[in-house]
Structure 1
Amino acid sequence: MSMFSLKKLFIRAALLSLVPLSCSAAEHGLSMHGDLKYAPNFSHFEYTNPNAPKGGNIKEWALGTFDSFNGFIIKGTSANGLGLIYDSLMSKALDEPFSQYGLLAASVDMPDSRESITFHLRPQARFSDGTPVTAEDVIFTFNQLLEKGAPFYKSYLGDIQNIEAIAPLTVKFHFRNNGNRELPLIVGEIPILAKHFWHNRDFSIPSIDIPIGSGPYTLAKFESGRSITYQRNPDYWGKDLAVNKGRFNFDSITYDYYRDSTVSLEAFKAGAYDFRQETSSKQWATSYSGPQFDSGELIKEEITHSKPTGMQAFMFNTRKPYFKDPNVRKALSYAFDFEWTNNNLFYSAYTRTHSYFSNSDMAATTLPTPEELNILEPFRAQLPDEVFTQVYRAPSYDGSGKIRKELRQALRLLKRAGWELTNGKLINKATNKPMVFEILLVQKEFERIVAPMIKNLQRMGIETSIRIVDVSQYINRLRAFDFDMVVGSFGQSSSPGNELFEYWGSKNAQQLGSRNLIGIESPVVDKLIQLIIQAPDREQLVLRSRALDRVLQWSYYVIPQYHSRSYRIAYKKMFGFPAIKPTYDLGFDTWWVKKAISGPAN
């Protein structure tokens, strides 16, 4: 839905740890965990095959449509895969919690004070039209993103005071706040734009002008709204760098667009495209079978991962009057019977989520320790007592679907909040109006998951409906906060930081296009996020994240859903991949086509 997609940027920017950076003089990389795994003269990442064959034309699928090749702004629906045409200053290692190694930058240095960071660009770095990448391109990029980019760039990059070109290939960033420990690494991951391409174009509007980048692929051709093809650049300046060895092996990558994910699955089984990652447990359990799988032509595989899974949930829009009261939000959470849903709809494939930092050591799953209480104590008067005395657990059931007792409990909470069940309708005693709201969806497949919850809400006298819209309308409604409830997620990692302000910071609550979909405006949440960003070591990061988790949990901003601890993928037998898998990613860009023959895309 965004340029390299926004979701990927959030996840990448989240993969940070707040211990001192391993950089004082010029270094070949940065690490938030102390020592770098790879030495200055390393030849390739361990999870890549440096001898992987180049070639082959592959197809993937995408949902919906697109109308723009500018995914840095909130307007328009940008095409999938645009990140393939861009390089950043640094390249992330997928087998370290968060380390970066030089890409456009040959080296980087930063004083112990962290008040600035300097990147030294590689002389051979080129855009796809042969123009050198310079410090002026870097400065132009960050100015454009801060002035005209999507709102989250200001959250991520707002502590940049100024940027200067020390020399044509040397650029220095000065920071307002040296307590923002992750900002240097965020800077390192931003795609760099070509000033000579963009300076005469309006960066603030969607465009289908084919952009110029310095990355391994170029945008070769497209059929508006239906497909887009990227061609591997044979003259790519960085193809022999250690960070790129064994990566970007396909000659071309095409994304074909489908309006419906069920139709797209049938197309995959018919051979229309080559790789698919499945998110539906029902489809995974029931639809990945047949002669193509029996013969081995198509391969189905689950790959366990150890990544934090964050929070997927039904999100309340607390800007709506109904949902401002925590008692109302808590009451409505009783309507989601996860155990019945998991048994009957998900083939018992999922685990219930209770934490915003699920599947990690930052999840608040036990009573707060004395160290956590010390963090929370200054805010006691502003928080529910449960934050200090109880362990949060989302409502749980026996799987039978019989939840009358819990619904009665929910109605007691609603009565406390000023609502009364009258003649089968839940009525607000102050306004004499019924509770009516809509759940906004983009995938029709999710309707079967929402429908049982709606029935439980109706038993409470609440009139609830489902609205399914296309991708473009869905994106626009989220950007405008034009919804009552939506299914969404907050991706996390082992090292949260600046992205938390984008998710839950007060400044973003009314900023159209931000990721604060819930509309949280809490001084306590703001302060705890700041403490996380400024955590001096891993121990404090964990303690402060748990403290924030407790505050979010007991505020009932969401109805938690579920998570899976594995990638579910299916692909044609044409693919090869390295024996070692990356720890923190699927690593699809390290795959290759076996016995590939280079040539033009089909």
Structure 2
Amino acid sequence: MGIFRRGSLVLAGLLLSTLPLRAEVLVSHGISTFGDLKYPADFPHLEYVNPDAPKGGEISVWSFGGFDSMNPYSVKGRAGALSSVFYESLLTDVADETGSAYCLLCENLEYPPGREWVIFNLREGAKFSDGSPLTAEDVAFSYELFLTKGLTDFRTVLAQQVEGVEVLGPHRVKFTFKAGFPTRDLPQTVGGLPVLSKAQYEASGGDLEEGSTTPFLGSGPYVLDRMEMGKTLTYKRNPDYWGGELPINKGRGNFDRIRIEYYADYNAAFEGFKAGNYTFRDEASSITWATGYDFPAVTSGAVKKVQLPSGTKASGQGFLINLRREKFQDPRVRQAIGLMFNFEWSNETLFYGLYERVNSVWENSVLEATGVPGPEEVAVLKPLVDEGLLPEAILTEEAVMAPVSGERQLDRGNLRRASALLEEAGWVAGADGIRRNAKGETLKLEILNDSQTFDRVILPYVENLRRAGIDATMTRIDNAQLEARERPPAYDFDMVVGNARASLIPGAELKQFFGSETADVSAFNLMGLKSKAADRLIEQVIAATTREEMETRTRALDRVLRREYFWVPQWFKADHTVAYYDLFGHPEVLPPFSRGELDFWWYDEEKAAAVKAAGVLR
């Protein structure tokens, strides 16, 4: 949420709560998918912020690896962390409501009940960070730019469903949508595009396709302050930011500076935190959380170690299998690979019991498929069964769950099951114990890893895979190499750690994550999933007109995706485990869908003075 989401290219589906403009057209300050907006047109500020939060100070975090570009919209180069912070969109989401978007750059939006088109009326005071006005021409230019350049998977969605854009006046722009496509999400899709300055882009000779160390001009609350290539990035709050007094922005964007420090590995980053080189840390290592926070700053209270509640779904973290490779085409091979990861042993031995297993793409949400499908899900799935796109068993079997293992690292029951599956798939163990197919090809599986901390997770998994006859290896590479091998069009990997992405109000972005048409161009569908059944269900989810329809169809889709065995699901925590120097304030009750440290936390001068007086920080 917050500044992480401004100008995001991955957008959830949304819809409407309005006042009538005239009988056939609606006008509103926002749009909601399946019901009324939480916030009325005259809301003074978001409920979860402190509207009187002071401005000032700095917060600093760490990032992994390095960067060589400040263009977040190209697959070329490694974009710096938060490099989309400069850009705003017509609409923005909030952290205490799903399925809604509110006007940011726009004053309001107009659309007919069928959403065949949408008109955005821009705020006349909207400006780019250089003081130049932001107009409808910039909105139209940005749409056309993203239609032809930048991330290809997003381009595919736009080209299919948007007829065109028309400038109706200096502050008025209209998008018309193509007939034959569900329109539920389309106002939010185009309203979520980042808006760049047409004049600056054309004058600079920039190219959205290329990496660049010079950011494009945006209208957001932060601008680039300092950059040390690959090592440090600092953003500073723009004191002349045009939108600071908008109700949607009250109590947000409070830090004068946001700094990112880069580290080559996780252990070095933790040592940097202990030394006070940065001030906020989202702790993802269970062993560090359990055993590492005994340094003097914690003991004295200068560093707070806390668990903060999270109401959002799990991240979908898992080992992703590259389905583009022939050796992984058989789902029995993929299922066997999954059987050899022992989560229970890992959680007890390596993670201090802090995690729960991920089973679903929509884990920890109402969209997760559970048990056998009910009548509503059966009604969705049966036509696909009748067409031969799904096996009949999906109508009566329970949703696929991650395999359960015993307390030993190698679960022999799962080893026997995996071995049988591999035999059935034509991979036979030779005298050396390694499996080969009829062509004599070895079943090789290379797991790429750019994190030393993850060695302790992957190496036991590799041992188990080798016991099953799979010629498994872990290859340590740096972050830049990993990005290059993951990205389209290379997709040069067998297995990587990633996320099966999804949102709580799923919509057109599902095509980016799981759609066949983007499988060979998407930076998000890393596994390269191509499933006719999933494609059909994605269309049905997008076309859902009620929340009940959306939930039923999404659970059916979840059931189908899990049967594809494109991943070996990993783990999640229901809470945020964070540590930070006691310099900050935050609202007593945090919203369910964002922790918000860079968005609506603030710098507390009194606390900071005490910490610095104790000599903990400079």
Query: What TM-score do the two structures reach when normalised by structure 2?
Result: 0.92
Conserved? CA contact 1:72–1:149, under 8 Å: yes
- Residue 245 of structure 1 corresponds to 250
- Residue 370 of structure 2 corresponds to 365
Give SS of 1:464's match: strand
Return the alpha-carbon distance in structure 2 between the equivalents of residues 467 and 136 of structure 1: 48
- Residue 181 of structure 1 corresponds to 184
The answer to whether 1:487 aligns with 2:489 is no
Give SS of 1:445's match: helix
Q: Structure 2 counterpart of 1:196, which letter?
A: A
Q: Structure 1 counterpart of 2:534, which letter?
A: V
CA deviation profile, 1:202-247 (whole Å, cap 9, x unmatched): 2221111243211111112211221111111111111111111111
Aligned pair partner of 1:595 in 585, 590, 605? 605
Q: Structure 1 counterpart of 2:90, which letter?
A: L
Return the alpha-carbon distance in structure 1 between the equivalents of residues 555 and 509 of structure 2: 16
- Residue 593 of structure 2 corresponds to 584
Return the alpha-carbon distance in structure 2 between the equivalents of residues 21 and 507 of structure 1: 33
CA deviation profile, 1:119-139 (whole Å, cap 9, x unmatched): 111111111111100001001
- Residue 11 of structure 2 corresponds to 13
Matches within 5 A, 1:22-421: 22=18, 24-158=25-159, 159-177=161-179, 179-199=182-202, 200-380=205-385, 381-391=388-398, 392-421=400-429
Which stretch shows the higher mean deviation, 214-223 or 492-501? 492-501
Q: Structure 2 counterpart of 1:521, which letter?
A: K
CA deviation profile, 1:317-358 (whole Å, cap 9, x unmatched): 111121000111111211011111110011111111111111
Q: Structure 2 counterpart of 1:416, which letter?
A: E
Aligned pair partner of 2:518 in 499, 503, 508? 508
Q: Structure 1 counterpart of 2:174, which letter?
A: K
CA deviation profile, 1:271-303 (whole Å, cap 9, x unmatched): 111111122222211212222111110001111
Return the alpha-carbon distance in structure 1 between the equivalents of residues 501 and 312 of structure 2: 10
Return the alpha-carbon distance in structure 2 between the equivalents of residues 379 and 27 of structure 1: 39
Instruction: Please state how far the C-alpha of 1:21 moved relative to its aligned partner.
Output: 5.7
The answer to whether 1:546 aligns with 2:549 is no
CA deviation profile, 1:548-585 (whole Å, cap 9, x unmatched): 11111122111121111111111111101122311211
Return the alpha-carbon distance in structure 2 between the equivalents of residues 112 and 189 of structure 1: 20
Which stretch shows the higher mean deviation, 95-104 or 570-579? 95-104
Give SS of 2:454's match: helix
Q: Structure 2 counterpart of 1:458, which letter?
A: R
Instruction: Please state how far the C-alpha of 1:59 moved relative to its aligned partner.
Output: 1.9
Q: Structure 2 counterpart of 1:413, which letter?
A: L
CA 1:358/1:548 → structure 2, altered by over 3 Å: closer, same or farther? same
Give SS of 2:28's match: coil
Which stretch shows the higher mean deviation, 94-103 or 134-143? 94-103
- Residue 507 of structure 2 corresponds to 497
Conserved? CA contact 1:33–1:97, under 8 Å: no
Conserved? CA contact 1:440–1:468, under 8 Å: yes
Instruction: Please state how far the C-alpha of 1:407 moved relative to its aligned partner.
Output: 0.7
Return the alpha-carbon distance in structure 2 between the equivalents of residues 504 and 492 of structure 1: 9
Which stretch shows the higher mean deviation, 296-305 or 183-192? 183-192
Q: Structure 1 counterpart of 2:374, which letter?
A: T
Aligned pair partner of 1:533 in 531, 534, 542? 542
Return the alpha-carbon distance in structure 1 between the equivalents of residues 264 and 553 of structure 2: 42
Return the alpha-carbon distance in structure 2 between the equivalents of residues 446 and 257 of structure 1: 18
Conserved? CA contact 2:111–2:117, under 8 Å: yes
Instruction: Please state how far the C-alpha of 1:517 moved relative to its aligned partner.
Output: 1.4
Which stretch shows the higher mean deviation, 133-142 or 572-581? 572-581
Q: Structure 2 counterpart of 1:297, which letter?
A: A
Return the alpha-carbon distance in structure 1 between the equivalents of residues 390 and 271 of structure 2: 50
Return the alpha-carbon distance in structure 2 between the equivalents of residues 535 and 338 of structure 1: 36
The ranges of structure 1 where at least 4 consecutive aligned residues each deviate by more than 6 angstroms after the TM superposition are 4-8
Q: Structure 1 counterpart of 2:219, which letter?
A: S
CA 1:429/1:236 → structure 2, altered by over 3 Å: closer, same or farther? closer
CA 1:501/1:6 → structure 2, altered by over 3 Å: closer, same or farther? farther
Return the alpha-carbon distance in structure 1 between the equivalents of residues 343 and 7 of structure 2: 28
- Residue 436 of structure 2 corresponds to 428
Q: Structure 1 counterpart of 2:540, which letter?
A: L
Return the alpha-carbon distance in structure 2 between the equivalents of residues 125 and 402 of structure 1: 60
Residue ranges of structure 1 left out of the alignment (5+ in a row): none
Q: Structure 1 counterpart of 2:565, which letter?
A: Y
Which stretch shows the higher mean deviation, 386-395 or 356-365? 386-395
Return the alpha-carbon distance in structure 2 between the equivalents of residues 28 and 181 of structure 1: 17
Give SS of 1:333's match: helix
- Residue 483 of structure 2 corresponds to 475
CA 1:22/1:337 → structure 2, altered by over 3 Å: closer, same or farther? farther
CA 1:321/1:21 → structure 2, altered by over 3 Å: closer, same or farther? farther
Give SS of 1:84's match: coil
CA 1:128/1:107 → structure 2, altered by over 3 Å: closer, same or farther? same
Give SS of 2:268's match: helix
Return the alpha-carbon distance in structure 1 between the equivalents of residues 527 and 95 of structure 2: 31
CA deviation profile, 1:119-178 (whole Å, cap 9, x unmatched): 111111111111100001001111111101111322443312100111110011111145
Instruction: Please state how far the C-alpha of 1:491 moved relative to its aligned partner.
Output: 3.0
State the identity %: 39
Residue ranges of structure 2 left out of the alignment (5+ in a row): 20-24, 609-617
Tell me: higher relative CO, structure 1 or 2? Use CA pairs within 8 A at least 6 residues apart. 1
Instruction: Please state how far the C-alpha of 1:266 moved relative to its aligned partner.
Output: 0.9
Conserved? CA contact 2:309–2:592, under 8 Å: no
CA 1:169/1:238 → structure 2, altered by over 3 Å: closer, same or farther? same
CA 1:548/1:305 → structure 2, altered by over 3 Å: closer, same or farther? same
Conserved? CA contact 2:52–2:251, under 8 Å: yes
- Residue 611 of structure 2 corresponds to none
Return the alpha-carbon distance in structure 2 between the equivalents of residues 525 and 136 of structure 1: 38
Return the alpha-carbon distance in structure 1 between the equivalents of residues 548 and 365 of structure 2: 13
